[in-house]
Amino acid sequence: MGFKVLIKDLSNNKEWVKELNQPIFFIGRVSSNEISLNSPKVSSRHARVMVRGDKVTIEDLKSTNGILFNNAKIDRSADLSFGDSFQIGDFVITIVSEDFKTDAPQKEEEDVEFKFDPFAYVRPFLAPINDFLEDASISEIMINGHDKIYIERKGKIEKTDRKFASEKALVAAVKNIARALGKEVSEVSPRLDARLDDGSRVAAVIPPCALTGTYVSIRKFSKKALTLQDLINFGAITQDAIDFIELCILMKQNVIVSGGTGSGKTTLLNVLSSLIPDGERIIVIEDTAELQLQKEHILRMEAKPADKKGRGEVTIRDLLHSTLRMRPDRIVIGEIRGGEAFDLLQAMNTGHGGSMSTIHSNSPFDTLSRLENTTLQSGIQLPLKAIREQISSAINIIVHTKRFEDGSRKVNFISEVLDLKPDMSYNLQHIYVFERTGKDESGKVLGHLKFTGNVPTFLDEAKKAGFIKKGSFLDTIK
């Protein structure tokens, strides 16, 4: 649904209108804002406006002169309705429905088709690396101080010759980015962890915690959603392995995607979600929203940190408790990091099969140890035996990814979790293992994902349920 923004400049009584159709837009002095107000009384990134139906929320992005509503400055944010006016500098702004009649002219320089730019509100502060933000071949930008900037391109890290003018300029850029995103960075709170509208992530640490300068990492979100065929073409997985994972999903096996940092866990989970049958109700819970599951009936939730006074925190555990009362067919947790592991295991063991998540680990066995450690963080006092029984009962399949030295990311193991051994240690059987054969002349890792011959314990049940096509590779397994 579109709407109109009516603007009146009190300094000269000029009026104009702009038509918009995106639910979030920015107001400020610089031209990268959707509503650009050329006045020294207006901050470069002054306000963010969110439109939902006929409700409007305006947020002050730490501007110098604030926002007036009902003749008073708003405290961080205010809820408005269509037709309500607010003032920024000398400008009175009113948001109305698209069928509202007005004689105010369209401003010629603003009468252009809107083009979504997820970096619009950080771009003004990152002039030395703006072209890196545009380059689709660059997946991550790493700033290790004002004069050391690296990029990741096709899985490999490259040093660039770009520089910020000074360390002071870089710190100022980070603080301005934080304000534009509705956050604050200072010596008292020297960390920034935020996401852009397309899912790209911005992380920064400033002194005194950063010892040799200001550190910034921008992990860009791919504009093109990868498909299963893309993974096959990249050599990340084989069609037989995909068929097996699809069988696991149809059989509502609980799947954990594990791997090291940058190994492609989130990307793989996004792609595997396309195998979930249509019509199922999926609830996704994340600490920072990154997943873009390729399904229609999906509810996305994001944890909320506490405010400056320690109020209002909503954790993944809190959201998981709410989720269990919302009739999910499947629960997907973006990443297991702490005590929410215990609640997820409880859900998996009490009828919520087919759930999925990711976790940092170095191997399939290490995945189970990491789950054990995160479960202990829940604060629930359970003997180790009980925790291991919960894990071995809840987790059915581990898909482990690895980033190789040539920058490629591949599925390294697909393993089934079996019952505990008599000595209460974990028991796994590998169904697929990546078998490395060497390197080619360009340094590319060679090998293939090989079926080990181990028979999944649920294969007979899958055949009886009719999930295995006759003549397929899975049908040949005895």
In this predicted model, what pLDDT tens digit does every residue of 211-248 receive, in sequence order? Answer: 999 999 998 877 677 889 999 999 999 999 999 999 99
Which strands make up the sheet holding 77-81, listed edge to edge?
Answer: 35-36, 24-28, 47-52, 55-60, 77-81
In this predicted model, what pLDDT tens digit does every residue of 313-371 receive, in sequence order? Answer: 898 889 988 998 899 999 999 889 888 898 889 888 888 889 999 999 999 999 999 99
pLDDT beyond 60 at 114: no
pTM of the model: 0.71
Average pLDDT, the chain: 88
